[in-house]
Chains A and B, each alone.
Chain A
Amino acid sequence: MNTGILDVRKTYNYLRKTQTHLVQSSEIATACVCQNLFKLDYPYGAIRSDKDYLIANTVHDIMSLCIGGPIIENWQYNSNDYENLTEKIVHDSYNIINEIINYTLDITNRENRSIQHDFKDRIDEIYHGLVTGICKRLMKKYDKPDRIITEITITNIKDHHEGRIDALLEYHHGYGILDWKTYDLNKTISGREKWQLIANNLLANYRYCQDEDDWNRYNFSCIVHNGGAYFPKLETIKKEVDKIKINRKFAFEVLCGKHVRAERPSFCPVCDKGMEGSKECLFYQIDSKLAHEGKLPAQYDKMTRQFFAKRYAILKERAETHLHKHVASTLIDQHGEEEALQRLERTGVICSGYFYDFDIEERVVMSRKDADFSLEPRRIVRIIGIEPKRPFLSCISEQASVMDVSNNKITLSFRSKVAVRRAKKQLFHLPIIMMRDELNLTRSMLRPIHQFHKLAADIFIPQELLPK
Chain B
Amino acid sequence: MIDLNPDQERILNWRINSGGVAGVIGPAGCGKTTTGSFLAVKIVCEGYARKVLLVAFTNSAANEFCRELSILLGPEAAKFLCVRSGYAPGADTSLSIPFSNSIEVVRTKKIVICTTQSLRRLSGCIKFDNMIIDEAGIERLEHLLSPFTLGINQLGVNLMKDYISYETNNIIELASQSGIVATVVGDPKQSRPIGLADYDLSAMEWVLRCTKYDTLFTTHRLPNKLAMLVDEFADYGGLRAAHDIAARRLIVDKDIDNEFRSIINPDEVITWADLNGTEEMAGPSSWYNDIEAKACVKICCELRRVAPSKSISIVTRYTEQRRIITRYLRSLDVNVRVLTSTGALGTQADIVLFSIVRNNPERIVGAVGSLQDLNVAISRSKEKLIIVGNFETMLNCWSRSYDMNHRIKQNFPQKLAKLVDAKYGEVVQATSLLSY
Q: Which residues of A contact B (CB under 8 A)?
A: 2, 5-6, 8-9, 12, 16, 50, 110-114, 297, 299, 302-303, 306-307, 310, 313-314, 316-317, 320, 327, 347-349, 374, 376, 406, 441, 444-445, 447-449, 451-452, 455-456, 458-460
Query: In the assembly, what is the distance between CA of A449 and CA of B200, in Å?
Result: 17
User: Bound complex: CA of A313 vs CA of B145, how far in Å?
Assistant: 15
Determine if A114 and B102 form an interchain contact, defined as CB atoms under 8 angstroms apart. Answer: yes
Complex Cα spacing A314 to B123, Å: 20
Q: Which residues of A contact B1 (CB under 8 A)?
A: none
Q: Give Cα A406 to B331, complex, Å.
A: 11
Given A113-B102, A347-B282: A316 in contact with B196 (beta carbons within 8 A): yes
A45 and chain B: residue at smallest CB distance: B142
Pick the contact of B142: A112, A297, A313, A456 (CB < 8 A).
A313
User: How distant is the Cα of A376 from the Cα of B143 in the complex, in angstroms?
Assistant: 25
Over the window 163-180 of chain B, the binary record of Cβ atoms lying under 8 Å from chain A Cβ atoms (1 yes, 0 no) is 011001111001100100
Query: Are B283 and A320 in contact (CB-based, < 8 A)?
Result: no
A322 to B123, CA, bound (A): 28
Contacts of B123 in A (CB 8 A): 50, 447
Does the CB pair B157–A455 fall under 8 Å?
yes
The 8 Å CB contact of A449, one of B103, B145, B165, is B145
A9 in contact with B284 (CB, 8 Å): yes
Asked whether, in the complex, the Cβ of B148 is within 8 Å of the Cβ of A448, the reply is yes
| Contact B142–A458 (Cβ < 8 Å) | no
Q: Given A9-B285, A299-B165, A455-B152: A445 and B157 within 8 A (CB)?
A: no
B165 and A460 form a contact (CB under 8 A):
yes
Contact B195 A313 (CB under 8 A): yes
Question: Shortest CB–CB separation between residue B261 and chain A, in angstroms?
Answer: 35
Which 4 interchain pairs have the tightest Cβ spacing? A448-B145, A112-B102, A112-B100, A111-B101
B196 touches A5 (CB 8 A): no
A318 to chain B minimum Cβ distance, whole angstroms, is 11
User: Cα distance A283–B124 when bound, in Å?
Assistant: 19
B-side contacts of A6, CB under 8 Å: 281
Provide the B76-116 mask, 1 if CB < 8 A to any CB of A, else 0.
Answer: 00000000000010000000000111111100000000000
Residues of chain B with a CB closer than 8 A to A2's CB: 281
A50–B122 Cα distance when bound, in Å, is 11
Q: Is the CB of A455 within 8 A of B178?
A: yes
Q: Are A452 and B171 in contact (CB under 8 A)?
A: yes
Residues of B within 8 A of A313 (CB): 140, 142, 195-197, 200
Q: Which residue of A lies closest to B195 (CB)?
A: A313
Q: B146 an interface residue at 8 Å Cβ cutoff?
A: yes
User: Given A313-B142, A327-B284, A459-B161, 14 more contacts at CB 8 Å?
Assistant: A12-B284, A112-B99, A303-B169, A306-B171, A310-B142, A347-B282, A349-B284, A374-B283, A374-B323, A445-B142, A445-B143, A448-B145, A451-B145, A455-B157
- Residues of A close to B88: CB separation below 8 A: 110-111
Residue from A307, A317, A320, A327 whose CB has the most chain B CB atoms within 10 Å:
A317
Also in contact, A306 and B170, with CB within 8 A (given A316-B196, A460-B165): yes
| Total A-B pairs, Cβ < 8 A | 113
Contacts of B170 in A (CB 8 A): 303, 306
Q: How many of B's residues come within 8 Å of A, CB to CB? A: 47
- Please determine whether B169 and A299 come into contact, CB atoms closer than 8 angstroms: yes
Complex formed: what's the CA distance from A444 to B137 in Å? 16
Report the minimal beta-carbon distance from A23 to chain B, rounded to whole angstroms: 20
Min CB distance A249 to B, Å, is 24
User: B299 → chain A, closest Cβ, in Å?
Assistant: 23
Q: Which residues of A contact B148 (CB under 8 A)?
A: 448, 452
CA distance A452 to B173 in the complex (A): 11
Specify which chain A residues have a CB less than 8 angstroms from the CB of B200 in the assembled complex.
Answer: 313
CA distance A117 to B268 in the complex (A): 68
**Nearest residue in B to A324 (C-beta to C-beta)?**
B284
Would you call B152 and A376 a contact (CB within 8 A)? no
CB atoms of B171 and A5 under 8 A apart = no
Q: A310 near B141 (CB under 8 angstroms)?
A: yes
A316→B169 CA distance, assembly (Å): 25
By beta carbon, the residue of chain A nearest B124 is: A50
Q: Which residues does chain B contribute within 8 Å of A460, judged by CB atoms? A: 165
Q: Which residue of A113, A310, A447, A458 contacts B146 across the interface (Cβ within 8 Å)?
A: A447
B120 at the interface (CB under 8 A from A): yes
- Chain B, residue nearest A111 (CB): B101
Q: How far is the CB of B356 from chain A (nearest CB, A)?
A: 20
Residue pair A314, B142 in contact (C-beta under 8 Å): yes
Q: Which residues of A contact B103 (CB under 8 A)?
A: 114
CB < 8 Å neighbour of B168 from A9, A299, A310: A299
Residues B168 and A449 in contact, CB atoms below 8 Å apart: no
A320 to B285, CA, bound (A): 14
Chain B nearest CB from A376 CB (Å) reads 6
B117 at the interface (CB under 8 A from A): yes
Residues of chain B within 8 A of A348, CB atoms compared? 282-284, 286, 320
Residue of B whose beta carbon sits closest to that of A436: B284
User: Once the chains bind, are B284 and A302 in contact (CB under 8 Å)?
Assistant: no
- B262: Cβ under 8 A from any A Cβ: no
Q: Does B289 contact A (CB under 8 A)?
A: no
Q: Is A376 within 8 A of B323, CB to CB?
A: yes
B-chain residues with CB within 8 Å of residue A449 when the two chains form the complex: 142, 145
Write the nearest CB–CB distance from B141 to chain A, whole angstroms.
7
One of A9, A112, A459 near B174 (C-beta < 8 A):
A459
Residue B149 at the chain A interface, CB threshold 8 Å: yes
Would you call A5 and B149 a contact (CB within 8 A)? no
A326 to chain B, nearest CB (A): 12
Separation of A444 and B103 alpha carbons in the complex (Å):
19
Q: Are A113 and B101 in contact (CB under 8 A)?
A: yes
CB-CB under 8 A from B99, the residues of chain A are 112
Alpha-carbon separation in the docked complex, A303 to B169 (Å): 7
Query: Bound complex: CA of A310 vs CA of B195, how far in Å?
Result: 11
Write out the residue numbers on chain B whose beta carbons fall within 8 Å of the beta carbon of A12: 284-285
CA distance A449 to B148 in the complex (A): 10
**Complex: A314 Cα to B103 Cα, angstroms:** 29
Nearest CB in chain A: distance from B429 CB, A = 29
A452 with B175: CB separation less than 8 A: yes
The CA-CA distance from A449 to B145 in the complex, in Å, is 7
Answer whether residue B319 sits at the interface, using C-beta atoms and an 8 A cutoff: yes
B72 to chain A, nearest CB (A): 25
Residues on the B chain within 8 Å of A299, using CB:
165, 168-169
Q: How far is the CB of B259 from chain A (nearest CB, A)?
A: 29
Give complex CA distance A1, B141 in Å. Answer: 41
What A residues does B169 contact at CB under 8 A? 299, 302-303
In Å, the complex CA distance between A406 and B326 comes to 11
> Does A459 lie within 8 Å of B282, measured CB to CB?
no
**B323 proximity list for chain A (CB < 8 A):** 374, 376
- Please determine whether A448 and B100 come into contact, CB atoms closer than 8 angstroms: no
Contact between chains at B124 and A320 (CB < 8 Å): no
A303 & B171 in contact (Cβ 8 Å cutoff): yes
Mind listing 10 A-B residue pairs with CB under 8 Å? A2-B281, A112-B105, A299-B169, A313-B196, A349-B284, A374-B323, A441-B117, A447-B149, A451-B152, A452-B174
CB-CB under 8 A from A302, the residues of chain B are 169
Q: How far is the CB of A15 from chain B (nearest CB, A)?
A: 10
A448 touches B105 (CB 8 A): no
- The answer to whether A459 and B164 have CB atoms under 8 Å apart is yes
Docked complex Cα distance between A9 and B280 (Å): 13
